[in-house]
């Protein structure tokens, strides 16, 4: 059928398939019955085509690093199935996920959106995720291909990575997604790879992806991530996103007629687009693009389970789990206690059906809610707290909010990121909006108003201009680098008095260069100070336990910028130190998208890392704290003692964050634990680390053979739960290789198994390795080489907790081509 349609298509019609129609849909060819389909973000939900921060509600699942911490592919596959349902509820046929870039450093703004520092763990979870999604008829899109491990100058930066490092660290998750999961779509990254944009990188998109790995799906650009006409199509980029066409359309038709692009290349790309439509069933049943909100009890239960499964207990000095019946006074402290930090920032954001804060979860878990005292203590927000409450919004044709409004609505949050305006009569390049609201401060004194805008905006308090986001506007770090840095103004307000807040917004002028988005965010807060920290200290002083909820949020862990350091932002470290000084039973619950330094670690009884676990955050936290669920997580990324212990942080700006448009991956394959183990750099917490509430006994491993063969070797380890609680244990298998002509890591993860066991129960971890698992990539031969010799199999609970070391002979050498 596909070839029959292609034969009837004109060149112009074939070309039309190779660009989006708009931000989220493809172009139909009605004459030939070719429908359009919708794509949607993102990794931890299905947002649909509305606003990045509003629109139709969606189910919010845990972020990728929390899934990485679960080490549980079967549960991640269940999440993939649920996400496919969510995508269908938004009328989408393609989910723009998963993200499989590697945790090169602890500072990447999208660290939270990626699974792990290890390619094997990343690949296993990605394959499971894709199988879950695609098994329900929705296409998955693995991204960002390749070398997008930082957000700094990401749209132009060249990631300079040698081929061995690419083949061993950064490409394997993509390779496994193609070979094992049959992923239907790949998204090219923004950055350049060794000097060439990935969207026009022939070696990457054609030689490796299609010819070596056998990929037959589509390659789409990241949004506004393609920069040329002939170069992209000749390299293997099928779909330019978003639409309408910028470098395709008439330009591509002309390039084909002039011989710069072969007609066969256009037809091949169009064929792949039609094949995608066929694979998602678009020809059999015309897609219904209607968006609906579905909030299912089984999804709620899965999110809650995933939250506990990915929770990593980093320290426990005989205090957790807490006994519900023996706690008369609980102090719940910190900026993340009453606020539900459920996801990171950027394109992964969705409008969640609901969120449960830790404070709400704890209150729901305890029968005596009166025993709980809450004080925020301090703030850590990068941006002023967003305005929440009734906001009247009026939309006008043209600039200046003149005449009668064309559309009016009521919203409840002072953040707008429009992909689609509420009326088709509004021109995204030539409209204006006025937002009006009342603000009644609970306390008198100085209040800070803040606003950031992609476009031009002004904020007035009772008619007085307070924040000017118009005069002198320049691009900053917000909204993917399309908005200004937050502008602020201070006003002294009276408690209980109503103030009228007005914001007037219009888009930037079309003459401005780069990507232009339309967005504005505004808020107000009363600054906190030492008195608020002291209030938290006094509340904690006589409590039976002080629960400190600290970390970051989606303003820090976000697409579009990297973190400035690995410390807790704001005065949170001071808060921890002072609370711990007056309460010996201080438990710290962390929410971050990656590692942090912990100078206060020795002063607290317990530390629990919760990441951003989705809309059931508070319930999952309470489950773990009170022992209704096991803290099942193990670290998917090494936590260094200090930022400078990371292999990418050398002090040389050319290595990180980049210099003169290039970032050089000088550490090569020595990423994460490979660096810490090989260079003897002791971490704060090693890769794979995590405590539980029970104890296990491991039996001696058994091997299916003492020598490697082409069929591989199976290692079996019996594990028994010898405690009195159910729990899970992680068994990791690393390989350690003999000296080769290249330097190799001390050990490399090659297999793992997570066992969930009842008290007294024994389970078997079955771990298989093959010759490829003994190999390194040999640049000279362009193949994976496993030399003959004696290897070691390292059976471990984490990278620093080695239980058994087994000798394994490989009597033969293996040269494994990249195509097989």
Report the pLDDT value the prediction gives residue 514, as an integer from 0 to 100. Answer: 55
Beta bridge partners of 160: 664
Could you tell me the CA-to-CA distances from 710 to 176, 453, 705, 715, 816 in Å, in that order? Answer: 19, 59, 12, 15, 11
State both tokens at 738. 């003999």
Kindly indicate the confidence band of residue 54, based on its pLDDT and cuts at 50, 70 and 90: confident
Note whether residue 463 is domain-resident.
yes
Instruction: Kindly state the tokens that stand for 256.
Output: 């084909």
As a whole number of angstroms, the distance between CA 229 and CA 174 comes to 25
Q: In what order do the strands lie in the sheet with 789-798?
A: 748-757, 727-736, 789-798, 801-810
Residue 333 lies in a domain: no
640 with 683: CB under 8 angstroms?
Answer: yes
Residue range(s) defining the domain that contains residue 149 = 2-52+60-279
Confidence band for 510, pLDDT divided at 50, 70 and 90: low
- The answer as to whether 42 is a domain residue is yes
Q: Which of 33-37, 50-54, 117-121, 382-386 is predicted with the least confidence, judged by mean pLDDT?
A: 50-54
Q: Are 336 and 550 in contact (CB under 8 A)?
A: yes
Domain count, the chain: 3
Strand partners, 467: 459
Q: Give pLDDT, residue 55.
A: 81
Contact 745, 677 (CB under 8 A): yes
Cβ neighbours for 363, distance < 8 A, ≥ 6 positions apart:
369, 372
Question: Running DSSP on this structure, what letter comes out for residue 773?
Answer: G
Rg for the chain, CA atoms, rounded: 27
Q: Please give the pLDDT value at position 820.
A: 67
Residues 167, 781: Cα–Cα separation, whole Å: 13
Task: Give the Cα separation of 352 and 341 in Å (integer).
Answer: 11
CB of 734 within 8 A of CB of 698?
no
Q: Are residues 175 and 45 in the same domain?
A: yes
Q: Are 311 and 526 in contact (CB under 8 A)?
A: no
For residue 747, what is the domain's CATH number?
2.60.40.10
> Does residue 570 belong to any structural domain of this protein?
no
36 and 162 in a single domain? The answer is yes
Q: Distance between CA atoms of 364 and 619, rounded to whole angstroms?
A: 8
Distance from C-alpha of 101 to C-alpha of 799, rounded to nearest angstrom: 21
The mean-pLDDT minimum among 26-40, 305-319, 475-489 falls in: 475-489
**What is the rounded average pLDDT of the residues 374-384?**
96
Is 553 a catalytic site residue? no
Nearest to 151, CA basis, from 480, 410, 391: 480
pLDDT in tens, 284-320: 988 888 999 999 999 999 999 999 999 999 999 999 9
567-596 pLDDT, tens digit per residue, is 999 999 999 999 999 999 999 999 999 999
Q: State which of 243, 264, 279 marks the end of a domain.
A: 279
- Is the pLDDT at 88 greater than 50? The verdict is yes
Alpha helices per DSSP H over 96-205 = 119-134, 163-165, 172-179, 202
Last residue of a domain, one of 245, 279, 313: 279
The whole-number pLDDT of residue 326 equals 84
| Final residue in a domain of this structure, among 221, 244, 279 | 279
Residue 127 covered by a domain: yes
At 209, give phi and psi (nearest 5°): -65, -50
Whole-Å CA distances, 669 to 675, 765, 780, 795: 8, 28, 17, 21
Question: Tokens 């008829």, residue?
Answer: 137
CATH of the domain at 16: 3.20.20.300
- Please indicate, yes or no, if residue 295 is contained in any of the structural domains: no
Q: Classify residue 441: in a domain, yes or no.
A: yes
The predicted pLDDT at position 299 comes to: 98
- Across the chain, mean pLDDT equals 96
What's the pTM value of the predicted model, to 2 decimals? Answer: 0.95
User: Mean pLDDT over residues 728-755, rounded?
Assistant: 95
Q: How far apart are CA 477 and CA 2, in angstroms?
A: 44
Predicted confidence band at 512 (pLDDT cuts at 50, 70, 90)? very low
* Spatial distance between the Cα atoms of 38 and 421, rounded to a whole number of angstroms: 17
Active-site residue among 41, 222, 247, 562? 222
Residue 515: which H helix or E strand, with range? none
pLDDT over threshold 50, residue 511 = no
| pLDDT surpassing 60 at residue 549 | yes
Q: For residue 243, give the 3-state DSSP assignment.
A: coil
The torsion angle over the Cα atoms of residues 746, 776, 122 and 113, rounded to 10 degrees, is: 90
- Contact (CB, 8 A) for 459 and 421: no
**Same domain, residue pair 16 and 150:** yes
């Amino acid at each position: 059928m596909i070839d029959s349609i292609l034969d009837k298509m004109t060149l112009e019609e074939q070309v039309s398939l190779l660009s989006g129609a708009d931000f989220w849909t493809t172009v139909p060819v009605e004459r030939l019955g070719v429908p359009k389909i919708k794509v949607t973000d993102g990794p931890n939900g299905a947002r649909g085509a509305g606003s990045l921060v509003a629109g139709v509600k969606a189910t919010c699942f845990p972020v990728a690093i929390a899934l990485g911490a679960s080490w549980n592919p079967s549960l991640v596959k269940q999440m993939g199935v649920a996400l496919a349902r969510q995508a269908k509820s938004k009328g989408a046929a393609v989910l723009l996920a998963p993200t499989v870039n590697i945790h090169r450093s602890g500072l990447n703004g999208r660290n939270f959106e990626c699974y792990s520092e290890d390619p094997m763990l990343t690949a296993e979870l990605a394959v499971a995720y894709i199988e879950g999604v695609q098994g329900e008829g929705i296409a998955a899109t693995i991204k960002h291909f390749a070398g997008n491990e930082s957000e700094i100058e990401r749209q132009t930066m060249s990631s300079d990575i040698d081929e061995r490092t690419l083949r061993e660290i950064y490409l394997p998750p993509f390779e496994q997604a193609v070979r094992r999961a049959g992923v239907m779509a790949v998204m090219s990254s923004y950055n350049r790879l060794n000097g060439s944009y990935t969207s026009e990188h022939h070696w990457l998109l054609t030689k490796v992806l299609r010819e070596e790995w056998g990929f037959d799906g589509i390659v789409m650009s990241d949004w506004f991530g393609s920069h040329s006409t002939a170069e992209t199509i000749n390299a293997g980029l099928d779909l330019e996103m978003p639409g309408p066409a910028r470098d395709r359309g008439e330009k591509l038709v002309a390039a084909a007629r002039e011989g710069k692009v072969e007609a066969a290349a256009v037809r091949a790309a169009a064929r792949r687009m039609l094949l995608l439509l066929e694979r998602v069933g678009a020809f059999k049943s015309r897609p219904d693009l209607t968006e609906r909100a579905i909030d299912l009890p089984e999804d709620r239960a899965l999110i809650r389970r995933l939250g506990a499964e990915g929770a990593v207990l980093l320290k426990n000095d005989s205090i957790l789990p807490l006994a519900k019946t023996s706690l008369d006074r609980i102090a719940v402290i910190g900026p993340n206690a009453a606020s539900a930090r459920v996801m990171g920032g950027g394109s992964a954001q969705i409008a969640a059906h609901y969120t449960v804060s830790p404070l709400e979860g704890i209150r729901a878990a305890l029968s005596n809610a009166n025993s709980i005292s809450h004080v925020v203590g301090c703030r850590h927000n990068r941006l002023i707290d967003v305005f929440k409450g009734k906001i009247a919004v009026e939309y006008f044709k043209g600039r200046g909010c003149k005449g009668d409004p064309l559309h009016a609505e009521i919203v409840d949050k002072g953040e707008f990121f429009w992909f689609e305006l509420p009326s088709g009569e509004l021109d995204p390049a030539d409209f204006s909006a006025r937002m009006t609201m009342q603000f009644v401060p609970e306390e008198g004194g100085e209040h800070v108003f803040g606003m950031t805008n992609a476009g031009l905006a002004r904020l007035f308090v009772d008619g007085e201009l307070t924040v000017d986001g118009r005069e002198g506007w320049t691009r900053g770090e917000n909204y993917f680098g399309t908005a200004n840095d937050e502008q602020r103004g201070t006003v002294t307000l009276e408690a209980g008095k109503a103030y009228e807040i007005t914001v007037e917004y219009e888009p930037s002028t079309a003459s401005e260069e780069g990507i232009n988005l339309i967005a504005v965010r505004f808020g107000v807060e009363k600054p906190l100070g030492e008195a608020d920290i002291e209030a938290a200290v006094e509340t904690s002083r006589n409590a039976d336990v002080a629960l400190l909820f600290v970390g970051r949020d989606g303003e820090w862990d976000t697409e579009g910028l990297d973190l400035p350091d690995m410390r807790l932002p704001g005065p949170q470290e001071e808060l921890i130190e002072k609370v711990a000084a007056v309460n010996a039973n201080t438990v710290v619950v962390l929410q971050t998208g990656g590692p942090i330094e912990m100078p206060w670690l020795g002063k607290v009884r317990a530390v629990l890392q919760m990441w951003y676990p989705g809309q059931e955050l508070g319930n999952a936290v309470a489950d773990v704290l009170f022992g209704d669920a096991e803290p099942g997580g193990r670290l998917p990324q090494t936590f260094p003692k200090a930022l400078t212990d990371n292999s990418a942080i050398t002090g040389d700006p050319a290595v990180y964050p980049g210099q003169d448009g290039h970032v050089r991956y000088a550490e090569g394959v020595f990423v994460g634990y490979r660096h810490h183990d090989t260079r003897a750099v002791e971490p704060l917490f090693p890769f794979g680390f995590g405590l539980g509430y029970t104890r296990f006994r491991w039996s001696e491993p058994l091997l299916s053979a003492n020598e490697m063969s082409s069929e591989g070797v199976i290692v079996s380890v019996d594990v028994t739960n010898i405690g009195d609680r159910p729990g899970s244990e992680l068994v990791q298998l690393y390989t350690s290789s003999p000296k080769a002509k290249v330097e190799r890591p001390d050990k490399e993860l090659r297999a793992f198994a997570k066992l969930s066991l009842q008290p007294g129960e024994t389970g078997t971890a079955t771990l298989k390795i093959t010759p490829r698992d003994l190999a390194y990539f040999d640049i000279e031969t362009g193949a994976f080489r496993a030399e003959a010799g004696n290897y070691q199999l390292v059976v471990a609970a984490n990278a620093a907790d080695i239980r058994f070391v087994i000798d394994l002979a490989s009597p033969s050498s293996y040269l494994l081509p990249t195509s097989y």
